[in-house]
Every structure is written in structure tokens, then in C-alpha cells.
Amino acid sequence: MRRSNRLTLIALAAFAVATPLRAERAVLAPVPAIDAAPTRKLETAVFAGGCYWGVEGVFSHVKGVQLVVSGFAGGPKDRRVDYETVSGGDTGFAEAVRVTYDPAQVSYGTLLRIFFSVIADPTTLNYQGPDHGTQYRSAIFPLNAEQGKAASAYLAQIGKSGLWRDPVVTKVERFTGFQNAGQDHQDFMRKNPRHPYIMRWDAPKLAAFKVMFPTLYRATPSA
């Protein structure tokens, strides 16, 4: 084992002992065997991984990420929704985030790796942590063929990795559009660091990201 990897695992073990309560078990997911070739100077990716507060909170601290917006994806293209309607669990939409990033600094595959390492448990069907329902499913919404190829390959890769006891159930879903959540849901972790939900379920994800990916962590979140 390389010294850098061994030190990362030691730090992760210490983190796990110090923070026994967290939503999902932090797992150092493998480096993607297949990545998405960039198609433009700034790329966009869409992920659903449970409550969007924590998903946005972690991705906003990734070096190379320019902007993260909380919203909804996965439902019918012609239906308009908001937090209240999606919370009913019967719209087909999931809480999701739209990530704008510089592929010269961070790749799509690296975002996938971060997502499954500290944000979402790929083995839990229609829930993450305390939140249950199809609106809290984990899903990847590729925006082009390159992302689709990389996402499908990575799900197959982590499914064979043996890092999770249960089968991987996260799906690659067709992108039908993205709708922004209300302004009160944007930058929620940054604006409400002492909120009980953030402290219990989301702050540990950010702490795990800082420990597991120190070269990718940025102290100041994207705007």
C-alpha cells in the first residue's frame, strides 16, 4: 500500500472513532477506471443523493467547482414542482444538485468518487439517512454521452469493489431537466451551520471529505 493511501486510511479510521454518528458510512471509493472527456471549458453535472442540503454542502467545497444549486430532477419534463409537492414522494422528482465545475481542475469521475465516498450510500433504495421516499433516492443524471458512459461504468465498478456489503442500487436516470429549489434552500449548510439536521447528518460528510480528499478540499465554499 502506498504511504499516502495508508495515511489517508489511518486518518479516516481516527475520524470514524471521533464521529460515531453520521448519516452514511464514509467509504474510500475507487478511482474511476473510465472518466468523462470534457466537452467544454465549464461542465455541468447533476446528482441526487438524499437531502440536497448536504449534497450541495460537500460539493461546494470541492476545488474546481464553480457553483452548486439545489433543486429537483428526475420527474416529467413538463411538470413544475417545488419543495412541498416533491416532499409528497409521488412526483417522480428527487432532491438533486446541479454542479458547475472546471474539468481542468476536477473531473466528472472525481465528482462521482466523492459522491459515493462521503455523500450517498449507493446500496440504500429510496432513502438516505433519516429521509425516506423516492424523492430521497440516489441517482445520477448524465447530461451527455461522455457522462453517461462514465457513470454507468463507475456504478459497475463500485458494485464489484466489495466495499459495500449490500448490492448497489443507485441508477443512471435520463435527464429531463432541472428545477431550482427556493432561495431558502440554497447554501443552506453555509448559512445554517448550527441547524440540528446539518450538525447531525451533513457536517460529518463534509468533515469526512476534508479527511479523505485533502488535496481537493477548499475551505471557502463556492458562491
Instruction: Please report, as a single letter, which amino acid is at residue 164.
Output: W
Return the exposure string of 149-180: e unless at least 16 CB atoms fall within 10 Å of the residue's CB, then b: bbbebbbebbbeeebbeeebebbbbebebbbe
H or E element, residue 13: helix 3-18
Q: Catalytic residue at 51? A: yes
173 three-class SS: coil
Q: Which of 36, 46, 48, 51 is catalytic?
A: 51
Using CA atoms, how far apart are residues 145 and 208, in angstroms rounded to an integer? 31
φ, ψ at 118 (rounded to 5°): -130, -10
Instruction: Please report, as a single letter, which amino acid is at residue 149.
Output: K
8 burial (CB, 10 Å; 0-12 / 13-18 / 19+) is middle
Point out the residues that are catalytic. Answer: 51
